[in-house]
A and B are shown apart, each in its own frame.
Chain A
Amino acid sequence: MKSEFTLKLDRCKGCGICAAFCPKQVLALDKLGKIYVADSEKCIACGQCELRCPDYAIFVDKVKEEKESVT
């Protein structure tokens, strides 16, 4: 399972709620206080970040991994 993040950074206020409730420490705040995906490989697409973001700035979707094409 892979996950795809969408960040609406103009909405993000850098409160850190998403990062705090991420069970896998995927998210972090940058120097300007905006959220960024620090380690996308660890993401399990649980959606806890999106669920509690008070500013609707972070979205996570599960994406099916492409099956290797057999030719």
Chain B
Amino acid sequence: MIERSYEKYFRQNRLPHLWCPGCGNGIVMKAIVQAIEKKGWSQDNTVIVSGIGCSSRASGYMDFDTLHTAHGRAIPFATGVKMANPNLNVVVITGDGDCTAIGGNHFIHGCRRNIDLTVVLFNNNIYGMTGGQASPMTPLGKKATTAPYGSIDRPFDACKLAEAAGATYVARSTAFHVQHLVKLIADGMDNKGFSFIEALVQCPTAYGRRNKIGDPAKMMAWMRDNAVMKTAWDKLSEDKKIGDKFPIGLFYKVEEETYNDSYEKVRDIAGGSLR
């Protein structure tokens, strides 16, 4: 066999990764490096920044300049990297807890600034690493160690949140829809500005088991059976958008000035432009 070309983007001496059998994180990590390969980004010019959580462990397996930061703080670190050197391609890896709980404010303000980052949210609907506490993206009625009778807190739709806060590229896919996910991440990388891609992933250990959803393949079959492409979703009448059905695809895209460009104007006015 000819070794797959994406293998060069992994730190081979760190594999196999530590994720549980059937965890969806590995699928999304591969989708990210395949998108990077598609864009032709070099390993020396690309920085991967992650927060804390099972999903955020991905940066440790990826052979780029990587930053494994503090819980919820990946976007601020990434902002610093991009401001210090706007020529770098900066990818953020974050979890639903990391991004929308402890890091919620950093998330909306990153969107608001339209800082040129590609943020991939690994949404497993739970705090995986710490054993299954409810996150702001745990669906209503689903069980968690902190919601033994089912969650009563209405979940965030992180895509709607990103769009409302000012992100200029917003999309969602799943660990089942691998090629679709690769394309959406790659398109997000093309966008100059804050690009947000939510990737649904199965966490069989901390979420699936507690909610009796079954094995990893069953969790992925659920994604296959319930995800509806945006174009089809928009044609559905409201009474059909029920149960577990949810839309995937590109939700929003607009051109806006990036934070680096705005800041450059400040530099010009202040007389300190390096350009």
Binding site for B on A (CB under 8 A): 4, 6, 10-11, 13-17, 19-21, 51-57, 59, 61
Contacts and interface: CB of A to CB of B under 8 A. Distances in A.
Interface stretch (B20-28, B39-47, B107-115, B231-239): B20-28
A14 B1 contact: no
B7 A15 contact: no
A52 B175 contact: yes
B22 A13 contact: yes
A47 to B, nearest CB: 10
Interface of B: 1-2, 4, 7, 10, 15-17, 19-27, 30, 175-176, 178-179, 204, 215-218, 220-221
A4 B221 contact: no
Contacts of A14: 21
Given A54-B22, A56-B26, A57-B16, 6 more contacts: A4-B1, A11-B15, A15-B22, A15-B215, A15-B217, A54-B23
A55 B17 contact: yes
Contacts of A11: 15-16
Contacts of B221: 20
Contact of B15 (A21, A53, A56): A56
Contacts of B27: 52, 54
Contacts of B220: 17, 20-21, 52
A20 B1 CA distance: 24
Given A52-B27, A54-B24, A16 B178 contact: no
6 contacts: A4-B1, A15-B215, A20-B218, A52-B175, A54-B19, A54-B23
A59 B3 CA distance: 9
Nearest to B19: A54
B87 to A, nearest CB: 31
A61 B2 CA distance: 9
A11 B18 CA distance: 10
A51 B22 contact: no
Nearest to B1: A6
A4 B2 CA distance: 11
Contacts of B15: 11, 56
Given A52-B220, A54-B26, A13 B16 contact: yes
Nearest to B25: A54
A-B pairs with the 5 shortest C-beta distances?
A15-B22, A20-B217, A54-B26, A13-B21, A6-B1
Given A51-B178, A54-B27, A55-B26, A15 B16 contact: no
A15 to B, nearest CB: 3
A52 B1 contact: no
A7 B63 CA distance: 23
A10 B117 CA distance: 35
